[in-house]
Structure 1
Amino acid sequence: MISPELSSKIHDKICQCIAKARRHFQYQFQIPEVSYRLRGKAAGKALLLNNQIRLNPILLMENQQAFLDEVIPHEIAHLIAFHHFGRVKPHGKEWQHIMLDVFQVTPSTTHCFNIQSVQGKTFEYSCGCSTFTLTIRRHNKVLRKQASYSCKKCTKVLKYTGVECNQG
């Protein structure tokens, strides 16, 4: 699914980030493994103990330049923060320092990509004053009686309307 050319660009960007971190911290950080097996709405995920980053292949294909400019540095910064500072807040001052001072990228905790292509099935719920869509995860929690959700306006418990919204 990911072309060799794009995979090569991803690898080059990772190597650039690691080289910047090595120069800045005077430490030989290892090049992380890359996996293109992340699903759902997240663009990327850093697996700290495995020195690996996982990327969402669908969002990557749809947002190639943003992945190179923002997502790769974001995930590499998590790995660098962990290996240099230990266990710290995921988007804390150490991570922000790496993003700003090492990678010269504005730190942002979330992406703004269109997620329609990766959005799963949702379910319509109502309270009486409004309707809401819940993800399949939240819907299943309601069905298993593990959770209930309330409207913030009228405070009534949301009830399933029986409508499934197939998206993606």
Structure 2
Amino acid sequence: MNDLTEAVEQAYQRAEQRLGRTFVRPRVTLDLRGQRAGVAYLGRNLLRFNERMYRDNQEDFLLQTVPHEVAHLVAHALHGGNIRPHGIEWQTLMIDVFGLEPKRCHDYAVPERRRTHYYYQCGCPTPISFTPQRHAWVGRGRRYQCRRCGDLLKFTGKLQFA
């Protein structure tokens, strides 16, 4: 995490030097999961980064992803909240301040999510797979009917991790 916080600090120092003003440093976390490499929370002055992508792509992450997210917070500080996330203000910062191509998305490998399937049965011979969200709704009282036979679907007690 030290390399990451140092890269954030360097990006801010570069922005301050080029723009002639100071910026409040954000809180930085390494707790982001999923498909995003980083997220800038403008109103909270927070940068969240994906630990797995950071670990797997450390050099590019520090050179590309960190300035990308810092540019979001700097653009917000300079122009307020009525700008597009990857609009001209952000693009200009990426080019003029950080000397980078203003790419919207990373091209890091994204590991496939592990999925849980909950199996429900009706009068039909084949069970029906529910997502965790739909299974949770059943737990809160929602009921589902089979589209083929019309019977209520009941949880079989079986689940599978894929």
Partners in 1 of 2:104 and 2:161 — Cα distance?
28
1:35 deviation in Å? 0.7
For 2:91, give the aligned amino acid.
Q
Aligned-pair identity in percent equals 32
Q: Which residue of 1 aligns with 2:40?
A: 46
Structure 2: 5+ residue stretches without partners: 118-130, 139-159
Q: Give the counterpart of 1:89 among 84, 87, 100.
A: 84
2:97 counterpart residue number: 102
The whole-number CA distance in structure 1 between the counterparts of 2:72 and 2:110 is: 23
TM-score, normalised with respect to structure 2: 0.70
In 1, the alpha carbon distance for the partners of 2:52 and 2:75 equals 27
Kindly state the Cα deviation for residue 121 of structure 1 after the two structures are TM-superposed: 2.3
Residue 57 (structure 1) aligned to one of 33, 42, 51: 51
What CA distance in whole angstroms lies between the structure 2 residues aligned with 1:58 and 1:107?
23
Deviation at 1:119, TM superposition (A): 2.7
* Structure with max Cα Rg: 2
Name the SS of the counterpart of 2:32 in structure 1: coil
Q: Which amino acid aligns with 1:37?
A: D
RMSD: 2.5
Superposed CA deviations along residues 65-124 of structure 1, whole A, max 9, x for unmatched, are 1110111000000000001111210000000001110001111111111112x534288x
Relative distance call for 1:22 and 1:59 in structure 2 (3 A) is same
Distance in 2 (alpha carbons) for counterparts of 1:55 and 1:77: 14
Cα gap change, 1:165 to 1:109, in 2 (>3 Å): farther
Count of residues in Structure 1 that have an aligned counterpart in Structure 2:
128
d(CA) in 1 for partners of 2:105 and 2:12? 22
- 1:34 maps to 2:48: no
